[in-house]
């Protein structure tokens, strides 16, 4: 076994945070950092070695058609009175608020080896690996899985076909402001030690 530092690992896990767009700079980031994050992702556990994660990276001008896909998804979701031009613009601007957007996809074969939930969880583990790497590299990141980010029109744009599924986007950028804080409930509320 290599000489590991569990306290250092715990600090990374404990202090990793989701960093929203309002706290990120739109400036470009080193794409080698993104490659390292993606490399970390593929070492996630996955039942049956299905390696169900698929990622598409949008950066630079490649974000322009993505921004149009978000705007179109918003329009499709709001055909009537709920439509607001301001909200459409907000959706169109989102991809330019962070330099890198990664589409997160669960790949499924027609005759899948494992239940869907197991593959989806494996993809979640992969994204978490990316997130821990992002934090270790001093970058902010967040998983966006909302109605627009996972909309069928956006899935079509990314090239995702059923039974595969778009789980939204993981965006990354340099921090503009303070590192966010977040709380967790006490461990005792979530864990029961079974008694003999």
* Residues at the site binding ligand FMN, with contacts judged by CB under 6 A: 17-18, 124, 142-146, 182
In the complex with ligand FMN, the residue whose CB is nearer, 21 or 71, is 21
In the complex with ligand FMN, the residue whose CB is nearer, 17 or 54, is 17
Element (H, E) at 137: none
Q: How far is the CB of 135 from ligand FMN (least distance, A)?
A: 10
In the complex with ligand FMN, the residue whose CB is nearer, 18 or 161, is 18
Q: How far is the CB of 176 from ligand FMN (least distance, A)?
A: 16
Give the CB-nearest residue to ligand FMN: 18
Q: In terms of Cα–Cα distance, which of 54, 57, 61 is closest to 100?
A: 57
> Phi and psi (nearest 5°) for 182?
-155, 150
Q: Is 168 exposed, middle or buried (CB count within 10 Å of its CB: 0-12, 13-18, 19+)? A: buried
Q: How far is the CB of 157 from ligand FMN (least distance, A)?
A: 18
CA dist., res. 58 & res. 102, Å (int) = 6
């Amino acid at each position: 076994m290599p000489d590991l530092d569990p306290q250092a690992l715990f600090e990374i896990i404990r202090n990793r945070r989701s960093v929203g767009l309002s706290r990120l700079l739109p400036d470009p980031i080193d794409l080698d950092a993104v490659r390292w994050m993606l490399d970390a992702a593929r070492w996630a556990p996955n039942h049956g070695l299905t390696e169900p994660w698929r990622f598409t990276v949008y950066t630079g001008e490649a974000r322009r058609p993505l921004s149009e896909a978000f705007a179109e998804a918003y329009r499709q979701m709001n055909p009537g009175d709920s439509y607001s031009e301001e909200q459409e613009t907000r959706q169109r601007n989102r991809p330019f608020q962070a330099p890198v957007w990664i589409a997160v996809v669960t790949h499924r074969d027609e005759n899948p080896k494992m239940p869907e939930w197991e593959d989806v969880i494996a993809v979640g583990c992969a994204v978490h690996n990316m997130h821990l790497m992002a934090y270790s590299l001093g970058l902010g990141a967040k998983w966006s899985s909302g109605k627009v980010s996972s909309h069928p029109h956006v899935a079509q744009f990314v090239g995702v076909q059923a039974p595969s599924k778009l789980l939204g986007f993981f965006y990354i950028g340099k921090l503009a402001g303070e590192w966010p804080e977040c709380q967790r409930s006490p461990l005792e509320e979530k864990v029961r030690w079974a008694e003999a």
